[in-house]
Amino acid sequence: MIPYLLPRNEVIAIVNSSRPTMNTAEIYTQTLKHFLRPIQPLMDDSRVTEVMIVGHNRIYFECAGKIQTSELSFASESSLMAGIRNIAEYSNRRIDINHSFDGRLPGGERVHAIVPPASRVGPCLTIRKFQKSTFDLGKLVERGSMTPSAAEFLSLCVQLHKNIVISGGTGTGKTSLLNALSTAIPESERIIVIEDSSELQLNQPHTVYLEAQTAQIDGQKAVTIRDLFVDSLRMRPDRIIVGEVRRGEALDLIQSMISGHAGSLTTVHANTPRDAARRLETLCLMNDAELPIYVARAQVASALHLVVQIARMPDGSRRVHSIAEACGLDEKNDYTWRDLYQFQAAGMDDQGNLKGELVPTGLRPSFASEPFQMGLGNQVHESAMLFCA
C-alpha cells in the first residue's frame, strides 16, 4: 500500500494561507525541501551531479565522474514515498504500481521514480542535478577533454553547417559537449532547440526552446518530440538542435538534414561512430512511415557528416575519444568512415589520472577546402594539417 499524501490543491491552499504571494513553484520548493531533507547535503554540493536512491536506506551519488556511497538515509520507506509523491504532484504525473514517471524539481533537476512491485528493492528515485553550462570548446580544452586542434576543427565544422552527432554512453557528458559545440553557431542564426527535458542553454539570443510534454493526469494529451519537430519546421529555423534522439523522431531529423536544414546537432546513445549510425537507422525504422531498411540506411548515410565519440575514462574523466567523418555506403551497403582524430592513451600518472590526448590520424576530411571557399580560412591555425587551400 503506497502512503497517501495531501492532494496538490490542498497543499497549495495550506501554504498559501500563510504566504498568499507564493506561486506554485515556490510552494513546492519549500515542501520538497522538507521531504528531501535527508539528501539536502548532496543537493547543496555543487560537485555532485547525480543522486541515486535505492530504497530508503541506500543512497549513492556521482562526484567527479565516479559513483560513491553515502551514509545518508531516509527514516522509512513511507517518508521516501512522501517525497516521491510530492515530486509527482509538482510534475503533474501519476505514480503508482503501474506508473513510473519522469519529472523535474522546481530548480530544474531531472527526476525519475519507480516504486514496488516494479522495483524489488523499494522506491527508487534518481535525480540528475541541474548544471548551468559554463562550457565552451576552450574550457573543454582546459579540462583536457580535447586538444586545441580538435576544438578548432569542430568549431569550423559547426560554422560550415555540418550535421554532427555526439555519441556516447550514459553520463559521458554528451549534453555538455553539445552545449559547448553550440557556442560556435553564429549569433545571427535562428536556432530551434527540441528536448524531452530542457537542459541545453545556448548563448545565442535568437534561440527558441521547445520541450516535450507527457500525458497529464488531468487528461491533457502528450506533446512528443515528433510533434515539436513538425512545429519547428514551420518556424523558419537556421538550425535545429535535438537534445537526444530516442525514438522515431530520428527519421524526421534525418530527413530535415538532407532537405535544407543542414548544420543540425544532436546526441545518441552508442559506443562507436558505426554504432551511432546503426542506432539512428534503427530509430528511423521505429517511425510509422514503415521505411525499408535499405532506405533508412541510405538516408542516414546521406545526412550524417561527423560523429564525435565521447567516453568516460577509468579515472572518471570525460574525454572525446574519436572524431570520425561519415563517408556514405560501400558496395556492400555498409557505412564507411574516415577517422580524423583518435584518443591515444599513455598510461596513468602517480595520482591515478589517465594520460593521453586526442591526436589527428593524418587523414583529411572530404570537405578540407571548404573553410577557404567559405571565407573561414583565417580561422585555420591549430588544425591546419586537416585542411588545404
pLDDT band of 216, cuts 50, 70, 90: low
- Tell me the pLDDT of the chain averaged across its residues: 88
pLDDT band of 389, cuts 50, 70, 90: low
Exposed / middle / buried, residue 210 (Cβ in 10 Å: 0-12, 13-18, 19+): buried
Contact criterion met (CB below 8 Å) for 152 and 379: yes
The predicted pLDDT at position 131 comes to 67
The predicted pLDDT at position 333 comes to 93
Mean pLDDT throughout 226-248?
A: 91
The predicted pLDDT at position 102 comes to 83
Query: Distance between CA atoms of 74 and 76, rounded to whole angstroms?
Result: 6
pLDDT band of 284, cuts 50, 70, 90: very high
What percent of the chain is modeled with pLDDT above 90? 56
Residue 220 has pLDDT above 80, yes or no: no
pLDDT tens digit sequence for 83-139: 999 998 888 777 777 678 888 888 888 899 999 988 999 999 999 887 665 578 999
The predicted pLDDT at position 354 comes to 87
Mean pLDDT throughout 342-353?
A: 86
The domain 8-128 having CATH identifier 3.30.450.90: the answer here is yes
Residue 160 has pLDDT above 70, yes or no: yes
The predicted pLDDT at position 16 comes to 53
The predicted pLDDT at position 22 comes to 60
The predicted pLDDT at position 359 comes to 93
Mean pLDDT throughout 305-319?
A: 92
Give the alpha-carbon dihedral of 106, 107, 109, 112, to 10 degrees. -20
Query: Distance between CA atoms of 259 and 254, rounded to whole angstroms?
Result: 9
Query: Distance between CA atoms of 154 and 286, rounded to whole angstroms?
Result: 30
Among the listed residues 265, 254, 124, 140, the one whose alpha carbon sits nearest the alpha carbon of residue 192: 265
Q: C-alpha grid cell for residue 100?
A: 513510473
The predicted pLDDT at position 64 comes to 76
pLDDT band of 319, cuts 50, 70, 90: very high
Q: In the chain, which residue ranges form alpha helices assigned H by DSSP?
A: 8-18, 24-35, 40-44, 77-91, 137-142, 148-159, 174-182, 225-233, 249-257, 273-285, 293-303, 370-373
The CATH superfamily assigned to 137-386 is: P-loop containing nucleotide triphosphate hydrolases (3.40.50.300)
The predicted pLDDT at position 2 comes to 43
What percent of the chain is modeled with pLDDT above 70? 92
Contact criterion met (CB below 8 Å) for 30 and 14: no
Q: C-alpha grid cell for residue 73?
A: 538515509
* 231 C-beta neighbours (distance < 10 Å), count: 14
For the range 219-222, what are the long-range contacts, defined as Cβ-Cβ under 8 Å and sequence gap of 24 or more? none
Higher pLDDT, 47 or 197: 47
Domain ranges of the chain: 8-128, 137-386
pLDDT tens digit sequence for 6-50: 555 555 554 555 454 567 778 888 888 889 999 999 999 988 989
The predicted pLDDT at position 132 comes to 62
Q: C-alpha grid cell for residue 50?
A: 547525480
Mean pLDDT throughout 293-312?
A: 95
Mean pLDDT throughout 346-357?
A: 84
Query: Distance between CA atoms of 198 and 272, rounded to whole angstroms?
Result: 26
Backbone angles phi, psi at 74, to 5 degrees: -90, 155
Mean pLDDT throughout 166-174?
A: 91
Provide the angle, in degrees to the nearest 10, between the axes of the packed helices 249-257 and 273-285: 110
Q: What is the pTM (predicted TM-score) of this model?
A: 0.80
